Structure 1
Amino acid sequence: MLDTAPAVHARPAPAPGAGAERMAWLDGLRAVAVLLVVYAHLSRYLFRGVRGFTGEWLHAGTAGVMLFFLVSGYIIPASLERHGSIRSFWVSRIARLLPLYLVVTVLALCLAAFGLVPMDRDLVAHPATAALAHLTMLPHLLGVPLVTPVFWTLTYEMAFYLLVSALFALRLHRGGGAVAVLLAAVSVAAVPLAPALLPATPVTVAVALGLAAGLPAVASGRRWAVAVGALLLAAIAVTLLAANQDPAHVWDGLLIVAVMFVGTTIHRAQHGQTGWWRAGAVAAAVGAALIITWYAQLDALGAPTATYRTRAIVTLLVFGGLFALGLLARDGRTPRPLAWLGRISYSVYLVHFVLLQLLSPVLTPLGDRLPVLAEVPVALGYLGLLLGISWLTHRFVEVPGQRLGRRGARWMTARWGSDSAATAR
């Protein structure tokens, strides 16, 4: 999902000049992605007439999250391979994502306790299962309702990390393009997948135990343990993706992960590790699979109209085209406001929906009564508040978490030695 700042990826800060601008283009893409997602959710309250028109031709939210997934697929595996340490990778991932994730979770639960935002009753009925599922960051694939709906993308990010770690530990990490094509082929042949075949509580406990065993194993530096842990992590990810998709993603759940591996393949082509013809073929295969499955979903819903079919193509072209434009323009100068927004985009993404729910008693009647032009200052007020809160959470939650992760990784290496030899080719 939704990774944001360059520090996320546990690499040194880029030097001034071309390197800094190279990272800025990724931040620019994240900024565009989060703006698309915020528009998709804000337009449920404001600009509903505009949404009625744009929604006929573009799935803004889908385009935004798919762009996020492409960016993550492009940079995350490359960071792991560059540093060669699964241990450091996971420490940095957890330190980067978990602090804000927990803060937003606690905030949403507190607001729900006072009746200020809605909360799924199953979370209250099964608090232990809900807590454990959210700690794994895989609740959307464990049949557990989400504390806040935007967490679903983090579940697919986590599944991707598990697969990437397993491939790296087994020295198969150059095969991301093949994985993408395989997922695309299975998706077209099997959709819709049967949703949530596994009971929530037993599978949550089993997955938590599997992660508790598999992650230390792949980070141990002992070759036999790394191999066993990698197989366990891969088994967890594949089982959940194949047998426990949420009903909302039985059509495209496998393709979400395939899109991330497309980003990985493009990175390899850019750095001469594979041919551009191969990267193009992988991207074309996954893109075609998306259109086929989206069309099949429209048929199943009884809505195979020309407009909706066109919308599927436009959505694909928007997020794919934006990524391509960013890649082509990566040596140019990204506008500073866009780069800044990209750096705090993880905070914006996690905070914006809870803030919308909290403000819905105000936004809903305003959206009902105000003309479109009068809604503009209301939207700007919401965005100003959102960006202010997001800057604070980035500055005082995300950044300290990143620093703690870097210190923790250095301490582990100093105490136990590097684990890179176990995965070196």
Structure 2
Amino acid sequence: MMRVSAAASVQPAAVPAPTGSSSRLAWLDALRGLGALAVVAEHLLPWFLPELRPYWFSLGVYGILVFFLVSGYIIPTSLERHGDVRAFWISRLFRLYPLYLAVIVLVLAVAWWVPVRGEVPRDGSAVAAHATMLLDVVSVGGVADTMWTLSYEMVFYLLVTALFLIGGHGRSGLLSMLFAAGSVVVGLVASGAVVAGAWPAYLSCAVFVVGLGCVLQGRLRTASACVLALMAVALLLLSSRVPWLGVAVLSVMFAGTAIHRWERGTGRLWPVAVTTALVAIAPLWAVEGGWWWVQADVWFTTIALAGATFAGGMALRGRRLPRVLTWLGLVSYSLYLVHHPLLKYFVEITGDLRRAERPYQLAMAALAVAVILAASALTYRYVEKPMQALGRRFARRHAGRPGAAGRPSRGLRVSGRRAGRLQGGADAGVAGQDASHDGVLGHEERQVPDGVRDHIGQGDAVR
């Protein structure tokens, strides 16, 4: 989210001349790489180097804001470019689920050594919630701590699909402001999930499977997509673990879309400024709050840093960026999913490092990072990449079948030179893009600087 003046929102920013698909997209990978590093640091420092952890801003929240801005920036326009709802969902399913399921299997396989988190129900509701990825919006803990943000990615996909099919996808700025205002209102009235119990997970799983099946098959596609979107919003408001935060996350993602439309000359930027202001005040009087990272000074600083990082990435688009950052962005989904379980296993072997000598702490932290990066490279190479390729082949095979394409885009009503600019700019800008959709912050973050508890229980054992 970027703070801008009303005058600046009138004219779109100049878009640098394209220098090739990879250079146009490198800034997005670099942003994901920075976000991934921030999240790894958020989870590593309390276990290895607690004295170095910053408390003037939240590394983890900073990372997820950057990630969600990137997702919001690229996902809707990618769907609009191809105009094929089936291909979009096939891509998403093959992109997200293979590694997600592999990590679940890993965590369960070693549960005899490091038990599964206590927040995961020991009944069928956990299976249902993990099957849909709607974990946090049905108040179910993920087997890996970082899986909670995938809930909001999935809600966003469901909303974007329905908006695309009914022709409402061009109103990103309005949607971002509505969700931002909603986060303020919800924060004032809701202290947590209004609808509790296991049945939201079971019901949402049934609706998700049937509805998405209809979307993929082209049967009652628009009606099914709308039902899924309405269900997602209802869950967000009524059964989320922290409702105001979930609504704020959706506003951030739609703000990312609004930024893209402004950049391409099809929207204004002032709604992003309004969204930023509303999200900034959302937690200040929220009933469910009190965490150190939503204190006014920390929250404002975190939002400002995330916005400045995204703006800096946009300013550098089309330029050569450090390969290490773009590589980190490439493997960021693997990095996001595998790093937290690996940190738990690492600490289980080394023991509590918080009171160890500084050289030993540094050495173990460096070794842990090396292990995480190596594991992320391997899972990207042997899980993510092959399954993405399989998804592309599967999508191409079904592209010509009846019902494959969605309803033509009606939300971007442009003509003449502006339409040509949109076709040659926005379409090229998303060509070949497969955003990482990295949700990345451990959720139960109620620790305070004087008693860092992050993911370490009272007995100094990793949960």
Whether TM-score is above 0.5 comes out as yes
Q: Distance in 1 between matches of 2:172 and 2:42?
A: 31
Give me the CA root mean square deviation. 2.2
Measure how far apart 1:272 and its partner are. 1.5
1:16-31 pair list within 5 angstroms: 17-31=19-33
Name the aligned partner's letter for residue 410 of structure 1: R
Which consecutive residues of structure 1, in runs of 5 or more, have no partner in the other structure? Answer: 1-15
Name the aligned partner's letter for residue 169 of structure 1: L
Name the aligned partner's letter for residue 116 of structure 1: V
Paired residue for 1:320?
307
Q: Distance in 2 between matches of 1:304 and 1:99?
A: 33
Using structure 2 for the length normalisation, give the TM-score. Answer: 0.80
SS where residue 117 of structure 2 aligns? coil
Which consecutive residues of structure 2, in runs of 5 or more, have no partner in the other structure? Answer: 1-17, 411-463
Classify 1:363/1:39 alpha carbon distance in 2 versus 1 (closer, same or farther; 3 Å). farther
SS where residue 305 of structure 2 aligns? helix
- Listed one character per residue, the Cα deviations across residues 62-102 of structure 1 (whole Å, up to 9, x for unaligned) are 00011100000001111100100110000000000000000
- Listed one character per residue, the Cα deviations across residues 339-371 of structure 1 (whole Å, up to 9, x for unaligned) are 111100100010000001111234553331112
- Listed one character per residue, the Cα deviations across residues 370-393 of structure 1 (whole Å, up to 9, x for unaligned) are 12x442222111111111111110
Q: Which moved more, 1:198-207 or 1:333-342?
A: 198-207
Of the candidates 126, 130, 134, which is equivalent to residue 134 of structure 1? 130
Name the aligned partner's letter for residue 379 of structure 2: T
Of the candidates 168, 192, 195, which is equivalent to residue 195 of structure 1? 192
Q: Distance in 1 between matches of 2:34 and 2:89?
A: 27
Matched, 1:330 2:317: yes
- Listed one character per residue, the Cα deviations across residues 124-160 of structure 1 (whole Å, up to 9, x for unaligned) are 3x1x221121010101111222211100010110000
Paired residue for 1:115?
113
Name the aligned partner's letter for residue 233 of structure 1: L
Matched, 1:82 2:84: no
Paired residue for 1:39?
41
Q: Distance in 1 between matches of 2:216 and 2:59?
A: 38
1:22-421 pair list within 5 angstroms: 22-51=24-53, 54-55=54-55, 57-112=56-111, 114-120=112-118, 123-124=121-122, 126=123, 128-192=124-188, 193-221=190-218, 225-246=220-241, 249-274=242-267, 278-279=268-269, 281-297=270-286, 301=290, 308-371=295-358, 373-416=359-402, 418-420=404-406
- Listed one character per residue, the Cα deviations across residues 247-305 of structure 1 (whole Å, up to 9, x for unaligned) are xx23322010100000001111111111xxx22x2222222122212322499639899
Classify 1:424/1:104 alpha carbon distance in 2 versus 1 (closer, same or farther; 3 Å). same
Q: Distance in 2 between matches of 1:303 and 1:176?
A: 31
Q: Distance in 2 between matches of 1:338 and 1:345?
A: 10
Name the aligned partner's letter for residue 232 of structure 2: A
Q: Distance in 2 between matches of 1:121 and 1:162?
A: 26
Q: Distance in 1 between matches of 2:348 and 2:201?
A: 35
Measure how far apart 1:318 and its partner are. 0.9
Measure how far apart 1:115 and its partner are. 2.6
* Structure 1 or 2: more helix by fraction: 1
Q: Distance in 1 between matches of 2:305 and 2:334?
A: 24
- 2:280–2:299 CA contact under 8 A, matched in 1: yes
- Listed one character per residue, the Cα deviations across residues 44-64 of structure 1 (whole Å, up to 9, x for unaligned) are 11111111xx11x01110000
- 1:45–1:364 CA contact under 8 A, matched in 2: no
Q: Distance in 1 between matches of 2:213 and 2:409?
A: 18
Q: Distance in 2 between matches of 1:303 and 1:292?
A: 15
Q: Distance in 2 between matches of 1:299 and 1:243?
A: 14
Q: Which moved more, 1:208-217 or 1:330-339?
A: 208-217
Name the aligned partner's letter for residue 26 of structure 1: L
- Listed one character per residue, the Cα deviations across residues 149-187 of structure 1 (whole Å, up to 9, x for unaligned) are 100010110000010011001111001211111111122
Name the aligned partner's letter for residue 249 of structure 2: I
- 1:104–1:350 CA contact under 8 A, matched in 2: yes
Q: Distance in 2 between matches of 1:253 and 1:238?
A: 10
- 1:150–1:350 CA contact under 8 A, matched in 2: yes
- 2:293–2:299 CA contact under 8 A, matched in 1: no
- 1:37–1:60 CA contact under 8 A, matched in 2: yes
Paired residue for 1:4?
none
Measure how far apart 1:35 and its partner are. 0.5
Classify 1:180/1:18 alpha carbon distance in 2 versus 1 (closer, same or farther; 3 Å). same
- 2:195–2:239 CA contact under 8 A, matched in 1: yes
- 1:105–1:148 CA contact under 8 A, matched in 2: yes
Classify 1:297/1:304 alpha carbon distance in 2 versus 1 (closer, same or farther; 3 Å). farther
Measure how far apart 1:117 and its partner are. 4.2
Classify 1:180/1:302 alpha carbon distance in 2 versus 1 (closer, same or farther; 3 Å). closer
Q: How many aligned residue pairs are there?
A: 392
SS where residue 45 of structure 1 aligns? helix
- 1:295–1:304 CA contact under 8 A, matched in 2: no
